[in-house]
């Protein structure tokens, strides 16, 4: 099921993806099932292919466009049926850094994993990360950096989040960032690529929910 939809998504063919989404809706397939078993499953496959070096950044960008346009078609049905996002994530490029391709890819993969994504943009301060997370009830804050000089500013965000008591988990990434650096500044996680970032965010949310239930 949804093989044509997923194939079109993997190849970044937005018009075909949207038509397949409409076809499934016309058959009476629930919007949530189209998202979970079609779009999200397809994005998951794309993420794995990206990690294996079989798909590349242009493929992710095309898929992001297809995903965004498809969600615009499905959103009214999702709202009407009461379907809610997995959680909210605030993402942004750290203060002093103007690069956003990696951030945008992470946002796309998070959306594909079922998150509501709040994109804070570039050059984001610790105060803005915290205020956006608080306003939107975010459970994840994702920070990216491309420069060794700006990645040092990530520590201020981690400290601000901990001081605020909002309970959001901070994940970091970017070319110069490492797991050792994440451990050093007290971040909750590090990811080397966009696909892994989405998987990490899902795991952290599930762990938080499990801890809250005990």
Q: 179-196: per-residue pLDDT in tens?
A: 999 999 999 999 998 888
Is the domain of 158 the same as that of 205? yes
Is the domain of 115 the same as that of 205? yes
Measured CA distances, 107 to 57, 72, 120, 214 (Å):
13, 16, 11, 30
Residue 172: pLDDT over 90: yes
Is the domain of 69 the same as that of 102? no
Instruction: Place 81 in a pLDDT band, splitting at 50, 70 and 90.
Output: confident
Is the domain of 65 the same as that of 101? no
- Among the candidates 53, 80, 107, a domain finishes at 80
Residue 54: pLDDT over 90: yes
Is the domain of 161 the same as that of 106? yes
pTM (2 decimals)? 0.82
Q: How many domains does the chain have?
A: 2
- Among the candidates 80, 113, 139, a domain finishes at 80
Q: What's the rounded Cα separation, in Å, for the pair 192 and 111? A: 18
135 exposed, middle or buried (CB, 10 Å; 0-12, 13-18, 19+)? exposed
Q: 95-109: per-residue pLDDT in tens?
A: 999 988 889 889 988
Instruction: Place 64 in a pLDDT band, splitting at 50, 70 and 90.
Output: confident
CATH number for the domain harbouring residue 56: 1.10.1240.10
pLDDT at 91: 98
CA dihedral (1, 204, 85, 127) positive or negative: negative
Residue 70: pLDDT over 80: yes
- Among the candidates 80, 109, 142, a domain finishes at 80
Residue 129: pLDDT over 90: yes
pLDDT at 80: 87
Structural domain boundaries enclosing 15? 3-80
pLDDT at 56: 87
């Amino acid at each position: 099921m949804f093989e044509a939809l997923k194939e079109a998504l993997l190849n970044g063919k937005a018009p075909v993806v949207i038509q397949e989404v409409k076809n499934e809706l016309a058959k009476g397939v629930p919007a949530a099932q189209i998202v979970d078993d079609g779009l999200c499953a397809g994005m998951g496959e794309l993420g794995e292919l990206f990690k294996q070096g079989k798909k590349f950044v242009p493929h992710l960008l095309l898929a992001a466009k297809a995903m965004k346009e498809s969600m615009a078609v499905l959103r009214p049905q999702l709202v009407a049926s009461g379907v809610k996002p997995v959680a909210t994530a605030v993402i942004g490029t750290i203060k002093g850094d103007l690069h956003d391709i990696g951030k945008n890819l992470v946002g796309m993969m998070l959306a594909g994993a079922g998150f509501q994504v709040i994109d804070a943009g570039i050059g984001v301060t610790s105060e803005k990360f915290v205020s956006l997370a608080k306003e939107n009830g975010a459970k994840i804050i994702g920070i990216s950096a491309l420069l060794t000089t700006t990645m040092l500013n990530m520590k201020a965000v981690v400290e601000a989040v901990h001081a605020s008591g909002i309970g959001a988990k901070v994940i970091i990434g970017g070319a110069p960032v490492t797991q050792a650096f994440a451990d050093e500044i007290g971040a909750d996680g590090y990811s080397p690529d966009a696909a892994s970032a989405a998987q990490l965010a899902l795991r952290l949310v599930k762990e938080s929910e499990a801890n809250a239930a005990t």
